Amino acid sequence: MSPVTPLSAAFSARNRRQFSHCLSLGSARHALLTGAMGLGASVWAMPALAQDAPVGMAPVTEKAPAPVTPPNAVAEDTNAGSVIATPAGTATGSDAAQGDATKTDAAQSDQVRFEADKLQYASDPDVVTATGNVVLRRDEQTVRADAVTWNRKTGKIEATGNIRAVDEGGNVLYTDKVELTDELKAGAMQDLLVVLREGGRLAAREGTRDANGNLTLHDAAFSGCAVENEDGCPKKPSWEVTAVKVTWNQTTKKVHYSGATLRVFGIPLLPLPGLTHTSDFRAETGLLIPDIRSTAANGVEFADTFYWRLGDNKDLEIAGHLYTGALPMISGTYRQLTSLGAFQITGYLTRSSAIPVYSAIDAGSGVGTSQWRGYLEANGKLQFDENWSLTAYGRYASDRTFLRRYDISRDDRLRSSINLERIGDDSYFSLAGWAVQTLRVGDNQGQVPLALPALDWRYRIATPGIGGHLELEANTLAISRSAGQDTQRAFARAQWDLRTVTGLGQEVTFTAMMRGDVYHSDANALTTVDIYRGVSGWQARGIATAAVDVKWPLVGALFGGTQVLTPRVQLVATPHVRNTSIPNEDSRAADLDDSNLFSLNRFNGYDRYEDGVRVTYGFDWQLTRPGWRISSTVGQSYRLSDEQSLLPPGTGLTDRFSDIVGRTDLRIKDIIQFTHRYRLDKDSFVLRRNEIDATIGDHRTYAEIGYLRLNRDIPITFEDLRDREELRAAARVGFAHYFSVFASGVVNLTTKASDPVYGSDGFQMLRHRLGVAYTDDCFDLSITWKRDYVTTGDATAGNSFLFSVSLRGLGSR
């Protein structure tokens, strides 16, 4: 399409003043609007741009300004009230005599009311002319203009100068000249801008609007971008679709183009023949924007998705993936909303060479077993009433490297579950089942448990006379393995809690708990760690616990803020519990930290229970000042019993004195967030656990760092308690208002001495990411480079590049 003359000649004096103000702000972008440019650059410089409404604006409801009676106002035809009625006080002469009739006529929906600074009537041509701040109203429609002429013979209404017309649907039209019907329907227009209520803007050299509100535009453009900046000055949209002809159907909210071209930053990039899309950004059947990426395992990938809107409550996405280094893959997602809830199903299917995870063969060599491979994922929830619900999700991969090779997920375990729940005011019921697929190198799937059924019921009742609440619980679980130990468990629990506050402000909580357990297990010898096996056959035990917990909050002023110091002491007593004869399925990864320091049982499950008598002590401290807050928790426990602990040294709970655990949180406005969790060896004060998470910056420019070191010196036979050291870092720097660069990386710092199984040398880069992005109100563009440093089967180490584009109103990925 050939360039079109810029619209600077159509600027009114008012907008020239606004434009000059914008130039005074030093924006070179505004100066471009006055140059000779093509359609894509200049069509947005509409008159009255400073009044542009935001995307997604609510229907415009105008409040009528107070009537004005200028000295030179004239109303020569008092019979004009049948079509155009003047508000009381805006005209002179016999207007007062017709006051009651005017009010009655103005209430009728088929009339047009107006306000103006000046009104003139020419009797010969029978023309009414209103000038100066003219406002026309009919029902929910309004038209503002500098001048309006009404030919009573022909019924033609013409508005000129700084026109802002709002139709019954809330769409706003800006132009300098328009012909209107007696129903305020816009007819022929020139140099117009339409701000659609649902979002998006249409601009054109000329256009017409029919009686149904449909637009036909010539030399037009559409964009989902704003055409003003935050200062109210005109700006060039990041992207637009220009066309020789554009039609917009007000009923279907669809925009159809003839001779369309996609322009990004004014540069024509892609012809779009036959383009049609919705103007309100709702989902419609059609192709989405494609993805382009390159990976070491598959080569260059081109993926495009066809979106099929099956109804208002369901849709389907089908995507094709083409690779230069692998066979094509197909994927799909089905979603549906029902009267009870929602669910979705996602699947991938391809055929490629799968290489065993222990093999050193390069995936690109083509060596391997060619087979059908894929992945299936589904989730959903049904809410039967306010109490009962059913939640389910499932994940399954054909092999251990499929998800990593095709960059779908990096999860090393895939969990599936179904859970029927009832949640009441004082009760809870759950009947669930769990299954796990391991994708980890070295894990035996036959040793991974299937938990079905898992039943839990709880009921809480008040205890009149003694106060507090009594909670009853019944729980049962069956665990089976195809090549491992099977365990069944059932227990019943009753726990009474009473919380009270003394006259001095101490918060005291009394607890009494009783529990009875029954276990059955077989094939115990297949469990590799001896202390996890238990004794095969039927086993039973009883547990009783009594505890008292005292907190004493002390509040005072410090450094211009408020500090709260809360010393805390807890005494827990539990007679000897049969632990070693009971199979350990859910209490293996035990570790002392700030979250379980004051727990009745510091094991993380039901199968192991901490017995003996112990005293736990510590304090919470918090200082709050305007704009920032710091808090800290420190504590330790002492076990009165000298019995040998179940846990190996390094967990912090082996000796009578436990290790010292703590946590510190710092927050300064929304700029700095810092959390440090730690555990100190009680004897050497060596850090056995050191965990740091910190964020500095705002949403555009920030840095994040995460560091974890577990230095417990526990034998490697305890697979759930191995030492780890890892560093995670990420940063983003925003510049030039819309641009940003970002980077992230994960480094394994674990040494061979800490974990000889995986053979890390103390500095092993796992993966990193580096990219640049452009993001504004309607356009996202990013280029990302990722590198994976670990090869697992056919999921090879190497570089990946991703190019991503999102256009508001046309599609996104």
Cα dihedral across residues 187, 188, 194, 198: positive or negative: positive
How far apart, in whole angstroms, are the C-alpha atoms of residue 95 and residue 79? 10
Residue 296 burial (CB count, 10 A):
19
Q: Give φ, ψ of 343 to 5 degrees.
A: -155, 160
Helix/strand/coil for 184: coil
Q: What spatial distance separates the first Cα and last Cα of the chain, rounded to whole Å?
A: 29
Decide: 515 and 493 in contact? Cβ < 8 Å.
yes
**Using an 8 Å Cβ cutoff, are 732 and 701 in contact?**
yes
What does the pLDDT read at residue 368?
A: 61
Tokens of 359: 């093999």
Number of H helices, E strands in the chain: 6, 43
Three-state secondary-structure class, residue 720: helix
Q: How many of the other CB atoms lie within 10 Å of CB of 166?
A: 24
Residues 362, 357: Cα–Cα separation, whole Å: 11
| Mean pLDDT of each 10-residue bin along the chain, 813 residues long | 32 38 36 29 36 30 35 36 35 38 48 83 85 86 89 83 84 85 73 81 86 86 82 82 89 87 87 81 79 89 92 94 95 96 97 70 54 96 96 95 92 95 97 95 89 96 93 97 96 97 95 98 92 94 98 94 96 94 90 92 92 96 95 96 77 90 95 96 92 94 95 73 89 93 94 70 88 91 91 84 82 47
- Closest residue by Cα to residue 783 from 811, 807, 802, 806: 802
What the block records as the tokens of 212 is 């149904």
Q: How far apart are CA 731 and CA 744, in angstroms?
A: 6
pTM for this structure?
0.75
Among 112, 124, 130, 235, smallest CA distance to 738 is for: 235
Q: How many CA atoms lie within 13 A of 290 on its CB side?
A: 9
* 686 token code pair: 């060596």
CA atoms within 13 A on the CB side of 329: 28
CA distances from 490 to 283, 423, 493 (A): 50, 21, 10
**Under a CB-based contact definition with an 8 Å cutoff, are residues 715 and 698 in contact?**
no
d(CA 45, CA 246): 18
d(CA 602, CA 570): 13
Structure tokens at 784: 């990302």
Task: Report the pLDDT value the prediction gives residue 717, as an integer from 0 to 100.
Answer: 67
In the block, residue with structure tokens 């559409």: 222
Residue among 596, 639, 636, 592 nearest 614 (CA): 639
Helix, strand, coil percentages (3-state) for the chain, rounded to 5, are 10, 50, 40
CA distance 300 to 73: 73
